[in-house]
A and B are shown apart, each in its own frame.
Chain A
Amino acid sequence: AQKITQTQPGMFVQEKEAVTLDCTYDTSDQSYGLFWYKQPSSGEMIFLIYQGSYDEQNATEGRYSLNFQKARKSANLVISASQLGDSAMYFCAMREVRNYGGSQGNLIFGKGTKLSVKP
């Protein structure tokens, strides 16, 4: 079973509108972290926002916010006031405590959503 599921392979949004990118996850850990990354066509993965499993408030970072619903195991990314530069692949990722062992724990990524912003 996939640990991270992003059901939207591609999304279109009009410039200046808000858009929600979906992410659901599967873990039996009580403590875990959720991350969103942006990957432009150049290839670099850019960290956007983090949500911890014990965080009571939804994370926000500028125009990015996370709609975190722990019971539903979902962590949807909301981008407000879309800009043309937001066109990119967006990846949801999870770090589980069980991955630690002797390490910090690697990230498990979803397949990504390609967002296209229309002028």
Chain B
Amino acid sequence: KAGVTQTPRYLIKTRGQQVTLSCSPISGHRSVSWYQQTPGQGLQFLFEYFSETQRNKGNFPGRFSGRQFSNSRSEMNVSTLELGDSALYLCASSPGDRELHQPQHFGDGTRLSIL
């Protein structure tokens, strides 16, 4: 079974630009979550999508948005990029059955650098 695939692996952008990151979950997984990882703040939850609907959201500004398609693939968009948005963005998928014990399976991440 293929794992979670994130593209691209690396991105370099400048302040004010916008960026779109992509995530393909494990086949059969319907829940996709996004996390931001920085040295200072660690891993922080951005949002979760299930069946094309956002059903959980972290404490990030509205510049961070996402969506999920009917095939469960998800995209995350960040508009008006700031230097502080430089981070590793991790996507995780799970079956989405609301089972407490279900782990989330992560992709390799997209490393975003803002110049």
From residue 101 to 119 of chain A, which have CB atoms closer than 8 A to chain B?
101-112
The interface of chain B, by Cβ under 8 A from chain A, is 31, 33, 35, 42-43, 45, 48, 50, 55-56, 58, 88, 90, 92, 94, 96-109, 111
Contact assessment for A102 and B103 in the assembled complex, using a CB-CB cutoff below 8 Å = no
B58, B88, B98, B100 — most chain A CB neighbours (10 Å): B100
Residue numbers of A with Cβ under 8 A of B are 31-33, 35, 37, 42-47, 50, 52, 91, 93, 95, 97, 99-112
Q: Would B108 and A32 count as touching, CB distance under 8 A?
A: no
Contact A91 B43 (CB under 8 A): yes
Known: A47-B106, A101-B55, A103-B56. 7 other contacts (CB 8 A): A43-B111, A44-B108, A45-B92, A46-B106, A52-B100, A107-B45, A109-B42
Q: A106, B48: Cβ atoms under 8 Å? A: yes
Contact B100 A32 (CB under 8 A): yes
Known contacts A33-B101, A35-B103, A44-B108; A103 and B48 CB within 8 A of each other: yes
